[in-house]
Structure 1
């Protein structure tokens, strides 16, 4: 057989196979919205049909005798039928795997949790199943956070309503007494009204601050300052409250290390921690504020004498509206102080934590140290 014959055979075979391929591509385009079973059938038919067309094209071009042409045609037709049936049988497993994954995805949409099929599947379907499993886990965590946040919001609304109702009722009663002229000591009533107004103003300020934190619009003006100055400002601000509760403030373990923070906001965060500690420390107790450098961070800690926090509540301490349990006397206000602390600290790329120590607990604020 000459080179010319080989080229002719290749030409006829490729022509027949190409024709079958073009027809198959058209069929796949028309049936692209059908199931994967139909697509697999078309692919198998195209593969077998291309072989059949190429073989018959070469056989006819060789001008075989009628008997030889019939034999070749019969052999090719039988081989085509068997090959097509085998391809469809082998492809059925892929169809079953895709249907199992589709059922699992449907249940994922209905029940909210994706349970991957147990039977082994092709690599692509296994990868898709793994992605759906990871997505299901993320959605479950998001739903848990949403439920916790919604529960926290409901508790906050209930507590705020109660905390607002009490001073407002007192203000109304005192104002009516002053108006009717039945107040035996008007000056004392005026002082009490001023106290209640200050309390309401503090509560509204906390709510506004927390709303800015949650909305991500807390405007910071970071500057390089010494931790010593932050601690001094915070201690000075809570001094009157400590004297009122007869609590001793200690701040002698403070290293003068620099940080880049918004002094006003960070001083507020430290003051909130100190006020929380003072309110929960018995009279004649001690609240200690310390600061030290650890590697590339600065850790500020507030240690009180509250007696400790139950282990089950340690993860909720910084939640909005959390007021503690019977192990800690519920503080004044709406339970926003520690939530504001966490928001301010995280806005500075830091983190806030709490853990129990002998006789009380320690709140720690970790901030990035200023670059030298």
Structure 2
């Protein structure tokens, strides 16, 4: 009886009591890659998803997230397959490793993390740690990063932390962080590098720091190099990481009093290697997508295609609403009143598929699930087939 009572008390006080978890009975059918781009498209279904920034597909399901709930849906019909819900607000949700990583906010910030099987919604792993009240989630295929203004963590596929960087409350072993008081502006990673843009006290421009994504001690970052980025004028803001490939980091360098907007490439130690002057203006409203052999950067009006391996610019397409995605060997880019089908290697327009939207304001982010095209339009995901 004593054991039963103890268990009951723990359950009554636990977070599980405020959680609804309804898993699917079986995995959904595996998605089959489309062999051709559709000639026409019509809306099939839509659902609220304000906690995502792009449509998520994992384990054969489309996953939407709103309020405190994460829902796995049938790709074709949008029918609910599984549901995971807590009485906490979502900070963000991303897809990685055919799983879903959902981050919830409590009194410690965006600190409660749950990993779900993408196809069934079954709970797999969980973690909790100190975090900022707002975070940005990114996945590089090997790691997921959670970056706030003052603190960053990198997680592997079992949610074990591999890097803790930035602010550390009540550190057990002080002095392990290389700098303090810096504002973390952006971060991205590959299997061999973690790149962070930060603005530190007393420095006139943004700093690029390159680290090992899997150091021996996750509480002690292992830096390969850290430099204030040359060429950024004093007070210039808006630098963003466009991609990290192997040991190369590509960074958008905003215009200053002397230089126009550029892409800068940095080596595995953060040393500047080369620059490319952008022929188009860049908005503060940007989006980046990685799809197959290409990284596409939506500048606010145009799509700039970068090679996924070398991050070199290949072509620019004007008049876009978002970065697009690859389907059947072509790049599909949202444009006013439709989706432009582009040649992936040249950016040449092949044709435009008419699509009606309530608004033609960007960004519209796109994902493909089999023969279905998914668009994130503001706080809703729309399926087109």
TM-score, normalization: structure 1? Answer: 0.23
Structure whose residues are more often strand by fraction: 2
The higher radius of gyration belongs to 1
Structure whose residues are more often helix by fraction: 1
TM-score, normalization: structure 2? Answer: 0.23
